[in-house]
Structure 1
């Protein structure tokens, strides 16, 4: 998970001190549901509770399980990606491209691709388009994250980013810009290895992704090729976001199921 700011700085955003947080925890140890709800409301993760209380992560998990709550539901509250990207953070950026790679053009190209892919199942097209657009319009994972009308680095989950307006357009631009960057460093051989890898839940797959994303590419692609790669990848990410995210309810970042997220989760 992201460590962009300290717990002191995180709580200070709400006008809460470490002492006040500890006092609340100690006064409500017999009310785990209140501690859980307060933690969720203020974006306090299990790791933060560990730092505040001194209780182990396992103890905190077992504590909430006594009332059938999962501590993991407090974790991964970031808007873009919920893992530490480290040196790969440089691949996350706003999209500043124009013409066929602009956000408007990529949006239209993705809609067109959905129509092409589901031309034999036209009844699915409206829902597929809705899934794509709602991913950016759904709002942040935590209600407080857009209270000041900006998303800062600690809310986005990527420490090197500057604050951006808390709008769907900002999220779509960050999504598109990151995919453009990803496909700029992956050559065709690397893409073939990644897509053909049999066990995508393995450490070996993650190692392949990290290695491939960390090395410059010699590939030269036309804008049309990049558009094709991005539209196909966008549709894959959107489908995974809703299919897996709805079941596990623990990864809300719009880049969590991109190659970046899969490399570092």
Structure 2
């Protein structure tokens, strides 16, 4: 594998974590706008995180097995198609069921992409380089969680509909898609030739990426409850209850 191809695959890994970070954090931010869009209390919209996180979790677990069956490049290309379908569903569908399915699809795409990104880093790098690259993936997760909320706030301040925020997040996958078309991916499973297999330095298989993905899923858990607290606070204000102390100001 030449250095330019390795660099492209590394950036795919970085963008994959940025995609997940943007989806999870921005969804909590625009929850109030989504609830208003469907004329529902914000506490009821907390299930949005259930569909999103369920899609991420299921796809990570399944992809640990599917990586040996479906080529990585084909998965990412298929993920791009699913991303377009999900964003179109958010924009066109005015039904809560369509919205929930679209969020689940976004979670599936995010989980597939992130699991592939983690595998690429653990497959291409060894020792300290692997550790530093994995830290960079976490940095992109956090960086997306900082940049995209700012972009979302700018769009919402201009009274632009909330689903355009997800269209902006989709630009990350456009970058992944372009890099995918220009890159050669490792071949896994029985289709791998002796030339494509890396030199065996460890006894781990592609499952070595699985604990890293599980760690990321655990990070997503606390965000599930953020909109619930916001919904309770909004309901308190609706009924005239003002909490005492600085938080009530």
Q: TM-score of the superposition, structure 2-length normalised?
A: 0.30
Higher helix proportion: 2
Where relative contact order (Cα < 8 A, 6+ residues apart) is larger, the structure is 2
